[in-house]
Structure 1
Amino acid sequence: MLAVLLSAWFMAQFDFFVVNVAAPSLEHDLHTGPAALELIVGGYAFAYASGMITGGRLGDLFGHRRTFVAGLAAFAVTSLLCGIAVSPGQLVGARLLQGFAGAVMVPQVLATITATFPAHARGRAMAWYGVAGGSASVAGQVLGGLLLDADVLGLGWRILFLVNVPIGVAAAVLAMRFLPAVRPARRARLDLLGASGVALALGLVLVPLAMGRTAGWPVWTWLCLAAAVPVGAATVYWQRTLTARGGDPVVDLTLFREGSYLAGVVAQAAFMAYWASLMFTLTLLLQGGFGLGPFEAGLAFAPTGVCFAGSSLLSRPLVQRYGLRILQLGSVVTVTGLAALTLVLALRPDHGALPWVILTMAVAGVGNGLTFPQLIGASLVRVPARRAGTGAGVLTTAQQFGGAAGVAVIGAAFFALAGPSPDTADHARAAMWTTLVSVALTCVVTVLTIVLRRAADRAARAEKAAGG
């Protein structure tokens, strides 16, 4: 059951990162320009993030298994459309649809774990969730580069999408066999107006951030960013109004009354903003600055992935023994690794820095593995089972919004710092400053883990008192 759920999470994360290594092939084969490339990468992230809350709500309304299978089938079909696209416009459209399909299936993963797994097994499931997510982000670089170099069946970049089709079909069949069919307690109406408001507000932020740099930051990008504020405020007002009327808003604002959940949402956004942008900027450093090929650059991330996966599996028994102090320890280890990476790039802005980049990233990977799975579990622990889909949808929306915004903003800063014709030293200097931003974001996560730990301690004391 867990393997079926995590296969969907792996595919969605893999497709978020894998397009980075395919960008040169897309430019050559489809003659995509910078704007189209931004839409191919950013369009998926936008659709994924903007549809996540609605996807979680669909699971609450129609059942997590049914919604999960529908999302898997849609992801397989849209991956096929990506693989057979013959023009940049077709690929952009298919990527948008693929992102929406991912937004339907992924919230059901956390929701099913939260609603159906017994308490003693949930922590281990979350650890494997962290393994799958961390491995997918690295596999997007490693396996993506390997598949491109192998040129399977002469398909080139198309294999990166087509590989999802048999996996998605097999996972959908297995989901019908192994996932429990839990019927919703009641059938509520879908809040289409609220869902549209959430998607529009996120789009008004993500689209200009994704396209602003290549477009030269024209007036429309600033107007969109400014318009996101009133649209977001109006959406929140509508959600409150609908709640007061006894309706079913797409965003359950009462979830944010729980301090641990709010802290978890912000921490997830900060974590993914740092992680996604760091993977992006270091890929640029390894390929553009150090001259590595896609597969070689991917292999440089392999130790990070191994350390991430290993510490994720160790995090659960460590939490059982030491509590959520492991969250803070993981964040401190990550900060240490990133601070060392910043120092390396400052002192060795040349090819000699490569072994130290690999080592310091592996240290950060250990910290990530200790933090990420337990951060998710601590955020959702006080979410009622009947609202698990909505809670998971908001949480994963925060993750994807943070990742997309981090790549757009920090990526733009990297290009600005590197200059128009950067050499190795320029790439290293740009990576140094953007890694320093990642250190700051990780410090934010560290502070929020303190809030989560205190909330968990209070809940444990209350439960113990109630039992006594």
Structure 2
Amino acid sequence: MSLTQKDGAAASEAPAAPAPAPEADSGPYAKRWLMLPVILAAMFMAQFDLYVVNVAAPSLEHGLHAGQAALELIVAGYAFTYASGLVTGGRLGDLFGSRAVFLTGTIAFTVASLLCGIAQTPGQLVAARLVQGLTGAAMVPQVLALITATFPPAERARALSWFGVTVGVGAVAGQVLGGALLEADVAGLGWRVIFLVNLPVGLVMLAFAARLLPRRKPTARPALDPLGAVGVPVSLALALVPLVLGRTEGWPVWTWISLVASVPAMALTLLWERGLARRGGQPLLNLSLFADRAFSRGLVVSIATFAGFFSFMFTLTLVLQSGLGLTPLEAGFTFTPLGLAFSGASMASQRITARYGSRMITTGASIAAIGFVVLLIVLTASGDHTSAARLIGPMVLIGLGNGLAVPALVGSVLAGVRPQQAGAAAGVLTTAQQFASAAGVAAIGSVFFGALGTPHGVGSYASAFEWVGGIGLVLVLVAAAVSLALPRPAK
């Protein structure tokens, strides 16, 4: 069974002889609920590795002698190749089968994690992280595609909400478990353990995936769109690279040229994709997805939510470790209440999303907005006396709100997508989310560092963090407002 097919073409072609019915056509895939935790483990690994390097930055600086530019690339290089390759990864799953691409991507991700763990120089680690991001981009879209294709509509929203739970928990775990792993210094590995931990996880996951993932042969002819495959990542790179490196490089002219050039580059790519679809080809980006108002509005909510939450997480790490002087383990413990609030809210949201749908997004965004307001009040009132204990209250509210919103968001956006478009929709959604996360960290991080200037104690970090709180408040209010226009469940 293919997850996509040429518009109109496949429907008009009759096979010479009857073919065996795909497994999904005879009823829901019997092992779907056993399969779900296995494929979600892949999402967890990819998300964990996106954020664990935040708490490992001091260890990399001392243990690997990585300079500031190298640290930026170690963190952002993964995010860039991951975000820019997701659409292509989704398309490959449509063409060659989600099972095959998932297994291949998981093997490659595990090997790339090993290369990260044994790197001897900053340059080697940067290169390995770029490869790790690309392999993650092949693996992750198949998770959403498999959920969409194997779960019947009555169960799909619940399964998709578990994906949303995993996205957030993986990010929070990167902060909490990452600090614990570094503090434990397992087998004297130091920073290397945060990458090498993927080896046993990846091997176990592969063993189960090989037995539990459905075998479906794609019926569409494998035909990748080369110009689209190049145009999409190049357009994203033109925007992300200057955002990531602009601050440390002093915003030279090339960064502004690159940012401006990203707009026509993406416009030309979209024009090519539309023309290719009209000619009966197989474009990388299925632009018909954007005709679905729930999908388009859901992307806007996703971008606002992910940019606000994950830039908050990134800068909070800096405040806790560099501003308040906490160790990675102490910072991890400080994140624990946020993590518990996010996880508990995600579990609750997962159970009731099918009933309340996008209302959970609005409710979650509203709670997160209250959290940002409380954060601003605490920072303004505390100033030089800001402490980790005083930040826990707003952290819990922000984690609680996002824990309610993120699972419902994924389910609301993808629940109505046809199985034939699952890979394409998953690629676009995950690209939007990861691009928003990376761009939010880079752009809002630049505002944070600009406001910080030359730090003079806790007060400087508190003042700079106020800017992050203010921007985060605006973004969650936008998410809440747009979520009101998403489809509501029938009473």
Question: Shorter-chain-normalised TM-score: which range?
Answer: over 0.9
With over 3 angstroms needed to count, the CA separation of the structure-2 counterparts of 1:189 and 1:323, relative to structure 1, is: closer
User: Is contact 1:243-1:249 (8 Å) kept?
Assistant: yes
Q: Structure 1 residue 298: deviation in Å?
A: 1.3
| Alpha-carbon distance in 1 for matches of 2:258, 2:187 | 43
Q: Structure 1 residue 158: deviation in Å?
A: 0.7
| Alpha-carbon distance in 2 for matches of 1:188, 1:85 | 36
Match of 1:314 in 2: 348
Q: Structure 1 residue 404: deviation in Å?
A: 0.4
Of 47-56 and 265-274, the range deviating more from structure 2: 265-274
Partner of 1:69: helix, strand, or coil? helix
Say which of 88, 95, 99 aligns to 2:122.
88
- Per-residue CA deviation, residues 103-144 of structure 1 (Å, 9 max, x unaligned), is 001011111111111223223222322222222111111111
With over 3 angstroms needed to count, the CA separation of the structure-2 counterparts of 1:148 and 1:437, relative to structure 1, is: same
Paired residue type of 1:227: A
Structure 1 position 298 matched with structure 2 position 332: yes
Match of 2:291 in 1: 257
Paired residue type of 1:203: A
Say which of 192, 196, 206 aligns to 2:240.
206
- Per-residue CA deviation, residues 48-84 of structure 1 (Å, 9 max, x unaligned), is 0000000001111111111111110010000011111
With over 3 angstroms needed to count, the CA separation of the structure-2 counterparts of 1:352 and 1:223, relative to structure 1, is: closer
User: May I ask how many residue pairs the two structures share in their alignment?
Assistant: 457
| Alpha-carbon distance in 2 for matches of 1:322, 1:160 | 38
User: Is contact 1:341-1:356 (8 Å) kept?
Assistant: no
Q: Structure 1 residue 320: deviation in Å?
A: 4.4
User: Is contact 1:290-1:351 (8 Å) kept?
Assistant: no
Match of 1:273 in 2: 307
Match of 1:177 in 2: 211
User: Is contact 2:357-2:412 (8 Å) kept?
Assistant: no
Q: Structure 1 residue 206: deviation in Å?
A: 0.6
- Per-residue CA deviation, residues 368-410 of structure 1 (Å, 9 max, x unaligned), is 1111111111111221101101100000000010000001011
- Per-residue CA deviation, residues 312-341 of structure 1 (Å, 9 max, x unaligned), is 111144334445322211111111111111
| Alpha-carbon distance in 2 for matches of 1:319, 1:143 | 28
Paired residue type of 1:217: W
Match of 1:340 in 2: 374
Match of 2:225 in 1: 191
Q: Structure 1 residue 440: deviation in Å?
A: 0.5
| Alpha-carbon distance in 2 for matches of 1:287, 1:32 | 18
| Alpha-carbon distance in 1 for matches of 2:431, 2:53 | 20
Q: CA RMSD in A?
A: 1.4
| Alpha-carbon distance in 2 for matches of 1:351, 1:336 | 22
Paired residue type of 1:160: I
Match of 1:398 in 2: 432
Of 183-192 and 383-392, the range deviating more from structure 2: 183-192
User: Is contact 2:165-2:343 (8 Å) kept?
Assistant: yes
- Per-residue CA deviation, residues 155-176 of structure 1 (Å, 9 max, x unaligned), is 1111110111121121112111
Say which of 344, 349, 361 aligns to 1:327.
361
Say which of 170, 174, 198 aligns to 1:164.
198
User: Is contact 1:288-1:424 (8 Å) kept?
Assistant: no
User: Is contact 1:307-1:369 (8 Å) kept?
Assistant: yes
Partner of 2:447: helix, strand, or coil? helix
- Per-residue CA deviation, residues 159-210 of structure 1 (Å, 9 max, x unaligned), is 1101111211211121111111122232241011101000000001111111
Of 295-304 and 112-121, the range deviating more from structure 2: 112-121
Structure 1 segment 305-454 matched on structure 2, within 5 A:
305-452=339-486
| Alpha-carbon distance in 1 for matches of 2:189, 2:395 | 32
Say which of 132, 154, 174 aligns to 1:140.
174
Identity %: 53
Of 292-301 and 122-131, the range deviating more from structure 2: 122-131
Partner of 1:348: helix, strand, or coil? helix
| Alpha-carbon distance in 1 for matches of 2:280, 2:234 | 24
| Alpha-carbon distance in 2 for matches of 1:324, 1:40 | 36
Match of 1:104 in 2: 138
Of 138-147 and 242-251, the range deviating more from structure 2: 138-147
| Alpha-carbon distance in 1 for matches of 2:340, 2:364 | 16
| Alpha-carbon distance in 1 for matches of 2:216, 2:347 | 29
User: Is contact 1:304-1:365 (8 Å) kept?
Assistant: yes
TM-score (norm 2): 0.91
Of 141-150 and 182-191, the range deviating more from structure 2: 182-191
| Alpha-carbon distance in 1 for matches of 2:113, 2:54 | 16
Match of 2:42 in 1: 8
User: Is contact 2:163-2:410 (8 Å) kept?
Assistant: no
Match of 1:284 in 2: 318
What are the ranges of 5 or more consecutive residues in structure 2 without an aligned counterpart?
1-34
With over 3 angstroms needed to count, the CA separation of the structure-2 counterparts of 1:83 and 1:371, relative to structure 1, is: same
Structure 1 position 28 matched with structure 2 position 62: yes
Of 19-28 and 96-105, the range deviating more from structure 2: 19-28
Partner of 1:451: helix, strand, or coil? coil
| Alpha-carbon distance in 1 for matches of 2:273, 2:483 | 29
User: Is contact 1:130-1:309 (8 Å) kept?
Assistant: no
Paired residue type of 1:278: F
Partner of 2:485: helix, strand, or coil? helix
TM-score (norm 1): 0.95
Q: Structure 1 residue 148: deviation in Å?
A: 1.1
| Alpha-carbon distance in 2 for matches of 1:118, 1:187 | 26
Paired residue type of 2:294: S
Structure 1 position 248 matched with structure 2 position 282: yes
Q: Structure 1 residue 152: deviation in Å?
A: 1.1
User: Is contact 2:359-2:488 (8 Å) kept?
Assistant: no
What are the ranges of 5 or more consecutive residues in structure 1 without an aligned counterpart?
462-468
Match of 2:83 in 1: 49
